[in-house]
Amino acid sequence: MSQFANYINGEWLQGASVNKNINPSDLSDVIGEYAQADAAQADIAIAAAHAAFPAWSTGNIQARSDALDKIGSEILARKEELGRLLSREEGKTLAEGIGEAGRAGNIFKFFAAEVLRIQGQKLASVRPGMDIEITREPVGVVGIIAPWNFPMAIPAWKIAPALAYGNTVVFKPAELVPGSAWAIADIISRSGIPAGVFNLVMGRGSVVGQRFIDDRRVTALTFTGSVSTGNRVAQGCIARMAKFQLEMGGKNPLVVLNDADLNVAVTAAVQGAFFSTGQRCTASSRIIVEKDIYPRFIEAARAQLAGLKIGHALSADTNIGPVVDQSQLDQNLSYIEIGKQEGASLVSGGERIKRDTDGFYMTPALFADCNNDMRISREEIFGPVASVIPADNYEHALQLANDTEFGLSSGICTTSLKHATHFKRHAQAGMVMVNTATAGVDYHVPFGGRKASSYGPREQGAYAAEFYTTVKTSYTAA
């Protein structure tokens, strides 16, 4: 069995224990044994990142840019192989896995260029004989805590800007997806980045992640995951006044108006709700449909779902792979029962199914006749389960769309410029989609939400500088 170590201070170190990485499409396929750090090893990584910070943060920007470019180029050159590994350990389809690996490569390339664009300002003073400069400086050691559902893209969109702006990194991937994290660390280890600047610390959230939260040398924490863990990160960071950024759950609405192109709307709904097995924070889990088009929408969605193939993530004809693990599958199936008990009509799927290999397979579940107060319409399920909610008119649909504790992504399908324009202005979400799925975003523009979905500055694109740098105002008397 292949063994994979942690990468700390430029060396590969065995952990205190190991974690078996199992393929959710085929439970007999063990991808490898991955090191699990204990608290002491997490401390060694934090100390290494702390020691590497002064030289890296003041070092030559061409070297920084070249290293990030090299990482991006290698990821892109190997995206088929890396995408296969990603799909094998996470369960999204091979096409989705390769797409995500390519995106990770592009993110490193984008920030390789951003290194050369770090800007300041020079302003006139209101006092005579004074010069003012406003500059951006790196924050220090950045602790990265990532979820399992985008095992390459999310680490990339945190590691690349952290390094680009001159910070050093301790990175803890989710327990379910150490393979993608290790592959990225392996590429980084050969990029010319000095020892200690980037550290991979695989291990448990409650051990390694908690260490990142508690250690004063970790000056900023970027977290993506559930609301409950995000709360814990926030409390810990506030207690010691550390900078932090949280990206959490969603209950994203897709509004379908009577005047929508039915094909466009059904495709956006089905892809948004169920692709990547519904395991996306931007998934369209609430589909809000105006009354006149409602019956036709349900029929067309049911027909499209019937044509989808659920199977092994690596099979060429699979549209939807397995759920990531047993506990997520149990949670999804329990929500199917909750939906039925609440009086929603299960019009498609929602069943555990068997395939040639033993994996966590279920059919995508579409509930009709839902209302926005049901638990299945309010709580993030994080699986292939969606509620279709009827709306009286556009105003009612908008009100339902905004009636949620979350605010990540919000979509509308309509041919009306008036309604699309109004919706873009009034949707209470960080991202708004018109005539396309709520999931699926570009890598060079801001990503993030409002309300319980996000806290702190946006991720990705040039806006990432807000989190990964701190501003200094200097006054010089002439």
Specify the stretch interacting with ligand NAD by CB under 6 A; choose among 51-59, 140-148, 371-379, 415-423: 140-148
Q: Which CB atom, from 208 or from 260, has the smaller least distance to ligand NAD?
A: 208
Q: Which CB atom, from 92 or from 172, has the smaller least distance to ligand NAD?
A: 172
Residues numbered 370 to 389 that lie near ligand NAD (CB under 6 A) are: 380, 382
Specify the stretch interacting with ligand NAD by CB under 6 A; choose among 50-58, 148-156, 160-168, 266-274: 148-156
Burial class (CB in 10 A: 0-12, 13-18, 19+), 429: buried
Residue 247 annotated in active site: yes
Q: Does 114 bind ligand NAD (CB under 6 A)?
A: no
Residue 176: CB minimum distance to ligand NAD, A: 7
Cα–Cα separations (whole angstroms), residue 291 to 297, 394, 398? 10, 10, 14
Specify the stretch interacting with ligand NAD by CB under 6 A; choose among 45-53, 58-66, 90-98, 244-252: 244-252
Listed residue (222, 96, 234, 65) closest to 159, CA to CA: 222
Among 100, 215, 247, 290, binds ligand NAD (CB under 6 A): 247
Read off φ and ψ for residue 112, nearest 5 degrees. -60, -40
The mark string for 293-332 relative to ligand NAD (x by CB under 6 A, - otherwise) is: ----------------------------------------
Rounded CA gap, 216 and 443, in Å? 31
Q: Does 344 bind ligand NAD (CB under 6 A)?
A: no
Residue 280: CB minimum distance to ligand NAD, A: 7
Residue 252: CB minimum distance to ligand NAD, A: 10
Residue 294: CB minimum distance to ligand NAD, A: 28
Among 174, 193, 293, 336, binds ligand NAD (CB under 6 A): 174
Specify the stretch interacting with ligand NAD by CB under 6 A; choose among 109-117, 202-210, 340-348, 419-427: 202-210
Specify the stretch interacting with ligand NAD by CB under 6 A; choose among 93-101, 167-175, 333-341, 357-365: 167-175
Among 78, 217, 232, 426, binds ligand NAD (CB under 6 A): 232
Residues numbered 394 to 453 that lie near ligand NAD (CB under 6 A) are: 408, 453
Catalytic residue (choose from 96, 100, 247, 380)? 247
Number of residues lying near ligand NAD (CB under 6 A): 28
Q: Does 146 bind ligand NAD (CB under 6 A)?
A: yes
Q: Does 185 bind ligand NAD (CB under 6 A)?
A: no
Which positions are catalytic? 247
**Footprint of ligand NAD on this chain (CB under 6 A)?**
145-150, 172, 174-175, 205-206, 209-210, 213, 224-226, 229, 232, 247-250, 281, 380, 382, 408, 453
